[in-house]
Chains A and B, each alone.
Chain A
Amino acid sequence: MRHRVLWVALIAVLLTGGARPCAAGPSAFHEYEVKAAFLYNFAKFVTWSPSAFDRPDAPIVIGILGDDPFGPFLEKVIEDKVIGERSLEIRHLQSLDRIPRCHILFVSTSERRRLSEILVALRGLHVLTVSEMEPFARSGGIINFVVEENRVKFEVNVAAAEAADLKISSKLLRLAQLVGDIRPEETD
């Protein structure tokens, strides 16, 4: 059985590879394909307080703030997925106004210039913030992707998660690089 699958895979690789001379160079998985899968996993391993949802079956909303690096990947990953009773939904955001409606907020690197403004707008909200820029997690964001040796890793700022009233499963934390908050003292 295992062998047959291998052969099918091999033939599929050859056929599709030959049929379409796309993509230059050697490559494995697309970075954002993997990051999209991570986002889905974050939704699985984080628990929001019930007040973050209107109804017990309300969807988990993933907001993408700024340029969307995922292309179609995220959509594909979350399609038809259900976590508990909740389906998943993607929203593209350009302004901060609609952040309160999200459960996960992916902050695109295009928003780097207004990062501090975004983090301020998020204060007191039950939003799992995810990004991929240094020093996101250290500045008050919750999860930050890091690519090391072509593998996707992530940092978690536990204090920031607690402040947002989110429970992160120990399964996730065990794999994370934990970071602290280097934010300067609270200003008000």
Chain B
Amino acid sequence: MAIPMRALASDIETPPRACAEEGHPLRRTALLSMIVVAVAWGQAAPAGALGPSDILAELSLEELMNIEVVSVSKKEEKLSEAAAAVFVLTAEDIRRFGCTSLPEALRMVPGLEVARIDANKWAVSARGFNGRFANKVLVLVDGRGVYSSMYSGVFWEAQDVFLQDLDRIEVIRGPGATLWGANAVNGVINIITRSAGQTQGLYASLGGGSEERRLGEIRYGGELGVATHYRAYAKYFDRDHAADASGQDAADEWRAARGGFRVDWASSPHDVLTLSGDLYDGEAGQTITVYSLESPYADTHDDRVRLTGGHVMGRWERAFSGASDMAVQTYHERAKRQDPIIELVRSTSEVDVQHRFSAGWRQEIVWGLGCRYTDYEIQNTFSVAFPPGSPGEHLWSGFVQDEIALSPDRLHLILGSKFEHHNYTGPQILPNARVVWTPGEKHTVWAAVSKAARTPSRAENEAIYVVQAFPPDKFVPGMPAVVTIEGHEEFESEELLAYEVGGRVRPNPRLSLDLAAFYNVYDHLRTIEQGTPFFKASPTPVHLVIPLYADNLMEGQTYGLEVTADWQAREWWRLHASCTYLQMRLRLDPRSMDTSSRAAEGESPHYQVLVRSMMAVSEDLTLDLASRYVDQLPSLNVDRYTSLDIRLGWRLTEAVHLDLVGQNLLQTRHPEFTPEFYDTLPTHVERGVYGKVTWQY
């Protein structure tokens, strides 16, 4: 898994500390001669052998202008990003729209499909195949994968960060498997927080409203020395339940507390060491149907899922020179989920190394190695059971990517591949080739062909999941019956071959247009097939089992177009608009008896439109609007809808800010999605208003 590198002090190459003779009163002529010698010596000696930086402060401007420097300025836009459908949601964007959770922030990203299932569950995908267990988009928080190989998907209700300290959310639509590995099929969401040095001082906010009942956040960032910064934070929120289809209160209220820290230590000008961690505890309500072999066989009731966990992460970044750096990262994460149908503790440990260097003038190579170990403690229930004693998961991976300048500044070729081995799913090779053509400063054109794979989850391979239960006499006299999805070892990876083209035009500094088109060819897509019914004596009573299992009997093509425009219309007014079109064509193999998987065609919107406006009305007043149009989801019986969010920000003093946010203002309530597999009650998103006071110094 690639480690997101910070373009920070880490790229810096300087004198070793040992030779810094601070405060030594040398005369200027002497200083100059030292510099002359050192520069002359530079061909053989490391840069650093020169004296301290304050030698330079003594020089005149003319002298400074004649000093030769080693340039380490990072490329502002990574080539690999210029060559893909990438969108970056900035910290400012996130703040300006009053987002209070990660999935709500993702609604501001063009091309992503974000649908709320209930007040604490979301379906998030890109380029189709959306669902609560959307399994084709990989999600990382500061380089830590939060996509679960247990059930192939992300439990968004367990993911959160201190939103104020977010640096950016980078979203890649399309395959990112070469850098990020398996399951980066339709996209990668990379959530990146700021360094501790950038989050100094006190930040505190308190708020409340109709849907966001109570929220409080506090962070303090300080210095532990010249080159060591830290921050510590805590947050709490209490969200109101949503409404069911008839407008009655649902049982999906959600509360969570989270605390964390981060320390960044620039131990030398080449090195940055980071240690971070967090702990959380939350409760998310739901209305769930649980099946059993006793009356009432299907019991629908309200309950709460308890979500607890935390992680600790260490990272070391070293810059050898401007053109060469390395990062080593390791983390351990534990996440516990206590759900009526399963109790699950997931422990993950991962180590990654990544190294970038230039080979000659025309090539830049990045390679990396990684190893991840995931273990689960599972309390089986009648609803979900995993075979006891399954070994933990080992994933070994390596990747290499070469950026080749075919014609410097004009034409680049990026070739790369990921190699993975997973002890459950075997080896994967995920290559990709991209071409970027930059005919002028204002234009970029790119094209790519990539292979990606969605690997089977443990659940698809070996779990038994009860999806329905029937009272006696329904199928066999005197005997209850259940429908189960049985793990199937033969289930293989879903595969994608993706063809993409895109372009970017910046006719002037105030306007940028982005366009991406894709044609995806999928094979071995998951289908749910029927097995042969059998009788089972355990657990009692003896019952009929109608088994279903996962197979790979579907193929299909998807294609679409994504257009994004960003326009600084006036100095005080920025506008953003995007439009996404998606078409899915899925075909079952004649052998397949599947009746549900093709419905994915109608579970992602054909059209999505997003318009955002950010206005500085006066020096102290900002007014921001975001409106989204989402096309209907015929398979889920969800109608098209348009939503509108407004935020009014008022700067009372330099330190105190007031925010008033209205969410989903156009309707009293509207539905957005219906979950697959997990039988929880979908609820409607309600109109909401909240206010927030922020204090910062």
Contacts and interface: CB of A to CB of B under 8 A. Distances in A.
Contacts of B269: 30, 71-73
A170 B425 CA distance: 70
Interface string A94-107: 11011011000000
A57 interface: no
Contacts of B537: none
Contacts of A151: 65-69
Interface string A102-125: 000000011011111101100000
A37 interface: yes
Interface string B1-35: 00000111101111110110010001001100110
A84 interface: no
Interface stretch (B71-79, B406-414, B638-646): B71-79
Contacts of A152: 64-65, 67, 69
A137 to B, nearest CB: 13
Given A25-B321, A94-B194, A188-B571, A13 B65 contact: no
B19 A12 contact: yes
Contacts of A133: 76
Interface string A63-78: 0001111111101111
B570 interface: yes
A73 B696 CA distance: 28
B72 A32 contact: yes
B76 A109 contact: yes
A140 to B, nearest CB: 9
B473 interface: no
A175 interface: yes
Contacts of A15: 19
Main secondary structure of the interface of A (DSSP, over half): helix
A25 B292 CA distance: 69
Interface string A1-12: 010011001101
Contacts of A187: 570-572
Q: Which of A27, A72, A133, A172 has the most CB of B within 10 A?
A: A27
A139 B510 CA distance: 11
Contact of B16 (A22, A37, A98): A22
Contacts of B599: none
Contact of B42 (A26, A73, A139): A26
Given A13-B49, A28-B47, A113 B654 contact: no
B266 to A, nearest CB: 6
Contact of A41 (B41, B49, B61, B66): B61
Contacts of B64: 34, 37-38, 41, 152
A112 B76 contact: yes
Interface string B557-599: 0000000000010111010000000000000000000000000
A50 interface: no
B68 A20 contact: no
Contacts of B92: 95, 114, 117
Nearest to B614: A117
Given A97-B696, A109-B76, A120-B571, A5 B270 contact: no
Interface in A20-55: 20-34, 36-38, 40-41, 45
Given A29-B50, A151-B68, A175-B62, A110 B7 contact: yes
B599 to A, nearest CB: 39
Q: Which of B15, B43, B320, B508 has the most CB of A within 10 A?
A: B15
A29 B41 contact: no
A23 B13 contact: yes
A33 B56 contact: yes
B320 to A, nearest CB: 5
B15 to A, nearest CB: 8
A56 interface: no
A153 B654 contact: no
Interface in A135-167: 135, 139, 147, 150-153
Interface in B72-97: 72-74, 76, 88, 90-92, 95
B572 A67 contact: no
Interface stretch (B195-203, B281-289, B453-461, B682-690): B195-203
B616 interface: yes
Contacts of B227: 71-72
A120 B73 contact: no
B73 A13 contact: no
Contact of A71 (B14, B22, B33): B14
Contacts of A150: 68-71
Nearest to B508: A184
Nearest to B16: A20
Contacts of A21: 46
A77 B266 CA distance: 17
B76 to A, nearest CB: 5
Nearest to B654: A97
B654 A109 contact: no
A29 B654 contact: no
B73 A10 contact: no
Contacts of A75: 226
Nearest to B39: A28
In this complex, which of A20, A23, A36, A172 has the most chain B Cβ atoms within 10 angstroms of its Cβ? A23
A186 to B, nearest CB: 8
Contacts of A116: 509-510, 568, 571, 574
Nearest to A21: B46
Contacts of B22: 76
Nearest to A149: B68
Interface in B169-224: 194-195, 197-200
B616 to A, nearest CB: 7
Nearest to A24: B320
Contacts of B33: 2, 5-6, 9
Contact of A68 (B9, B29, B39, B568): B9
Interface in B44-67: 44-50, 52-54, 56-57, 59, 61-62, 64-67
Nearest to B221: A92
A94 B198 contact: yes
Given A9-B34, A22-B320, A68-B9, 15 more contacts: A13-B37, A16-B18, A17-B44, A20-B46, A21-B46, A29-B50, A30-B14, A30-B72, A76-B53, A76-B54, A81-B57, A94-B194, A117-B574, A120-B572, A175-B62
24 contacts: A2-B30, A17-B46, A22-B320, A23-B13, A28-B68, A30-B13, A30-B70, A30-B269, A31-B73, A32-B72, A37-B59, A38-B61, A38-B64, A45-B61, A67-B8, A71-B266, A72-B227, A76-B52, A78-B57, A94-B199, A113-B90, A147-B71, A150-B70, A151-B65
Interface of B: 6-9, 11-16, 18-19, 22, 26, 29-30, 33-34, 37-39, 41-50, 52-54, 56-57, 59, 61-62, 64-74, 76, 88, 90-92, 95, 194-195, 197-200, 226-227, 266, 269-270, 320-322, 324, 508-510, 568, 570-572, 574, 616, 651, 654, 657, 696
Across the A-B interface, the 8 shortest Cβ-Cβ residue pairs: A71-B9, A27-B47, A37-B56, A28-B68, A16-B19, A13-B49, A27-B70, A76-B53
